Amino acid sequence: MSLFLTQSSIGRKLVMSITGLFLILFLTFHMCMNLVAILSAEGYNAICEFLGANWYALVGTAVLAAGFIIHIIYAFWLTVQNRAARGADRYAVVDKPKDVEWASQNMLALGIIMLAFLGLHLYHFWSKMQLVDLIEMAGGDVCSQALENTTNGFYHIVNTFSSPINTLLYIIALAALWFHLSHGFWSALQTIGFNNTTWFDRIKWIGRIWATIVVLGFIVTIVMFFLDGFFGLNILPLLGA
């Protein structure tokens, strides 16, 4: 079985599909969690505290990190394999097939954007929350202010999206995420076996709708906090922003 998942092209695509669907579920949860911040600062911080440096949260973080790493490795692996299989033909000028989506031809580029965005997101939030707790637990030197804010996710959202540069970078990354998700969703299900003619177009539309909901959920949160923090419009008075 392990040889099938590593040495077979179909096996590698299956691993890509399963890890991709797992990450889509995580993004859906993350989007719902962010929407809580619009409704209640206390509720959002309670979730952050629940997902702090606890054993179950650390296990979840390790599993999530493994999913990302495996997905990225297999993505590059399959890309190299596909280019090697095409050989010199990849340099030939050919017309783009009408039934091939733009996203499907640029998944690697979109994935690289996602990887850069992940690093930015980890810096803005994880490095100032769970990582600080881990350093403190390991006996490292952590200032009291940083330690106090490890479960104050609301503070970090306000601080991050008061900046127009951060806000713009996140929105650009989320636009790339939409293309990546909308193609990756139906492609993963097709690889798993949902590839009959009856469901093919339906799955494509389900993927687009799901990607739109997830991305819009993130953007709504970002824009509301940007308008409130940068312009001081006080549109989130119940949150104490």
184 touches 107 (CB < 8 A):
yes
pLDDT of 172: 94
Domains and CATH numbers, the chain: 2-239 (1.20.1300)
Kindly list the averaged pLDDT for each block of 10 residues, start to end, along the chain of length 241: 59 85 92 91 91 86 91 81 63 48 75 90 93 85 81 91 94 93 86 76 89 95 85 56 44
pLDDT of 209: 94
Contacts of 51 (CB under 8 A, 6+ apart): 57, 60, 130
pLDDT of 66: 92
pLDDT of 91: 45
Distance (Å, whole) CA 23 – CA 214: 12
Per-residue pLDDT tens digits for 90-139? 444 444 445 456 777 777 788 888 899 999 999 999 999 988 888 888 88
Tally Cβ neighbours within 10 Å of residue 241. Answer: 21
215 touches 178 (CB < 8 A):
yes
Helical pair 197-230 and 164-192, crossing angle rounded to 10 deg:
170
Q: In sequence order, what DSSP letters do the residues of the chain get, joined into one string?
A: -HHHHHH-HHHHHHHHHHHHHHHHHHHHHHHHHHHHHHH-HHHHHHHHHHTSS-HHHHHHHHHHHHHHHHHHHHHHHHHHHHHHHHGGGGGS--PPPTTS-HHHHSHHHHHHHHHHHHHHHHHHTGGGTHHHHHHHHTT----HHHHHTTT-HHHHHHHHTTSHHHHHHHHHHHHHHHHHHHHHHHHHHHHHT--SHHHHHHHHHHHHHHHHHHHHHHHHHHHHHHHHHHS-----GGGT-
Q: Per the confidence metrics, is the pTM higher than 0.85? A: no
pLDDT of 112: 87
Per-residue pLDDT tens digits for 209-228? 999 999 999 999 999 899 88
